[in-house]
Amino acid sequence: MQKKIIKVHPSDNVAVALVNLKIGEIISFENQDITIVSEVKAKHKIALNTFKIDDKIIMYGVLVGKASLIIPTGGVLTTENVKHQSAKVSHKTETIGWTVPNVEKWKDKTFMGYHRQDGQVGTANVWLFFPLVFCENRNIETLKEIFEKELLTQKVNSHQMLLRSLVNNGFDVAIQQEQSTKVFENIDVKFITHPGGCGGIRQDSESLAKLLAGYVKNPNVAGATVLSLGCQNLQIDIFNNALKAISPNNKKPILMYEQQQMGTVDEMLTAIIKNSFEAIREANKIERLPAPLSKLKVGLECGGSDGFSGISANPTLGYTSDMLVALGGTAILSEFPELCGVEQELVNRCVNETSAKRFLELMQAFEKSVVDAGSGFDMNPSPGNIKDGLITDAMKSAGAAKKGGTSPIVDVLDYGEYVTKPGLNLLCTPGNDVESTTAMVGSGANIVLFTTGLGTPTGNPITPVIKVSSNSELAAKMNDIIDVDTGDIINGEKTIEEMAEVMLSYIINVASGTIKSKASLLNQDDFIPWKRGVSL
C-alpha cells in the first residue's frame, strides 16, 4: 500500500502529502495518530505538530520558513500561514564528508562521443551560427532558412497539413508525420539569435562575449560562423579575447564576417554560404568514438518544479551527479536564488576556504542587486510552484539543491566562466530556466539534466537536454517532452539509487546519439543570455 505522507529528513516537523487528504482523515505516522484538519492536495505540506506564531518550520533538515499564524497539527501549510525564512550563514566551520557511491559496474562503461583536440569529448557535433549583435539577427534567420531547407529536407508536419486543409475550405488532406533526410549524417547545423551586443553597459557586452566564447569551446561544437555588424559594443576583438582567455590554443575553425566591411547583404551572404558549407562538409568527417564517462559534463537544472521535485526527481539527479563525480566526471549546479537557505551546507562542502568565500560573495552580491531593484529572493517561487506546494523560496531551494548530491564542491564560478575542474562546480546564474541552462552550456556542459513537476519544453541549441519528471501523472500527460519518469519513487516502486542507475543508462544512450532527447526531437533551441546591467 502506498504511503500517504512522507517526512524527508528525521529532524523535519512537516510532512509531504503523497496523495490528496480529506478533512477528518486519520493517519498513523511515527507512533502518533494525525487528524487532517483541512483539505490537503498531494505535494503540499502538513504540520506534524502545532505551530505557534514565529515557530520555525523545518524541512530537508533546514529552516524553510516561520509560522505567521497558528497552524494546528494536521493543518496544511499555505502562503497565508507561513512566511519565508532561511538560516543565517556563518563562515566555514566544518567539512561535511560524503559517502562515495559504489560505481564499480560503471568504471569500464563508455559513451560514443566526438573527440576534440583539446581533450574534451562532445555528445553532439554542431556547426554553430551566431551574431555578435542583435542587428545581425535577420541575417542569421535568413541563413537558417537557407541551410535548413537544403541540408535538412523535411516533409510537411501534421500541424501545417491541418492548416492547409482549413485553407482549402476543410477538404481532407492526407496528414504526413514530420520526417527529415539529412545531407550530412555526422553534423548538425544550429543557429543562435539574441537581443544583446550593443545598447547596454559595456559589461553586458563583455559578459555576452564570454558566454558565446564558451559555446565555441563547448565540446559539442565543431566550429562556428560568426556575424558582426561592425560598430557595436561587442567588437570582434572583444569576442576573440574572450575566446583566447578560455581556449588559448583554439583549433576549431571560426569564420568571421563583418557586414560594414563587406558591402551588400548579397555579397556577404554569398561568401558566408560558400565558406560555411565547405567547413560544415569538413566537420562532417568527424565520427563518434568511445570515451570514458569521466568526459561527461552534466548541467543540473530544474524548472516548473512541484512539491514532489525535491523528493523524487532532484534527489535522483543528486545521486546521479555523485556517481558521475565518483567516475571522474563533472557536474554543474547553478540557479543561485534557488540555493537560498542551504548556503551553510554548501559552504561546508567547499574543498577550500577560497571557494567558500567566493560562493558567499557571489550569493550576497546577487541578492543585494535583487533587493536594490525592489524585490528579493523570497519572490522566487512562481504561481505554479506555490500552487503545487512550494510556498517559500527556502522550501523550494532546499529541494532544488538536492540536484547537487553530496559530493565536495571543487570550484565556484561566476557567470560566463568555464569549468576546468572535474567534480561538482557551482555556477552563479539566475533561477530562470533558460538563462540558467544557457549559462551551464556556455560553461562546458555537454549534457543537461532538467527536472520538472509541472512540465516545460526547454531545450538548448547545442547540448541535449534530458527532461525528468517528478511524477508519473506529468509523464503520461506530457509524454512528448518527458524523457525519464521518477514517479516510481513516489509510489514506492523504486529507490533513489535504483532510479539513478536508470538515469545514468539513459544519459549514456543520449550522449552516444543512440537516443535523441525529447527537446532535441522538438528542435527546442532556447538561448537567453543573462543581462545583468541596465540599458543605455
Q: Express each pLDDT in 50-67 by its tens digit.
A: 999 999 999 998 888 999
Whole-angstrom CA distances from 284 to 124, 214, 272 are 12, 22, 18
- In this structure, what C-alpha cell is assigned to residue 303? 524548472
* Bridge partner residues of 16 (DSSP): 6, 45
pLDDT at residue 176 above 80?
no
Q: What confidence tens digit (pLDDT) does each residue in 362-413 have? A: 999 998 888 887 877 766 677 777 776 777 778 888 889 999 999 999 999 9
d(CA 472, CA 490): 9
* Bridge partner residues of 113 (DSSP): 289
Are residues 438 and 416 in contact, defined by beta-carbon separation less than 8 angstroms?
no
CA atoms within 13 A on the CB side of 475: 15
pTM given for the model: 0.91
% of residues, the chain, pLDDT over 90: 74
Q: What confidence tens digit (pLDDT) does each residue in 155-172 have? A: 566 777 776 777 777 655
Q: Which helix (H) or strand (E) holds 14?
A: strand 14-17
The DSSP 8-state label assigned to residue 25 in this structure reads: -
Are residues 60 and 310 in contact, defined by beta-carbon separation less than 8 angstroms?
yes
Are residues 392 and 84 in contact, defined by beta-carbon separation less than 8 angstroms?
yes
Residue 416 — left, alpha, or beta (φ > 0 → left; ψ -120 to 50 → alpha)? left
Residue 489 — left, alpha, or beta (φ > 0 → left; ψ -120 to 50 → alpha)? alpha
- In this structure, what C-alpha cell is assigned to residue 161? 497539413
d(CA 536, CA 493): 56
* Among 316, 266, 274, residue whose Cα is nearest residue 451: 316
Q: What confidence tens digit (pLDDT) does each residue in 346-357 have? A: 999 999 999 999
* Among 450, 470, 402, 490, residue whose Cα is nearest residue 60: 402
Crossing angle between the packed helical segments 496-511 and 313-326, to the nearest 10 degrees: 70
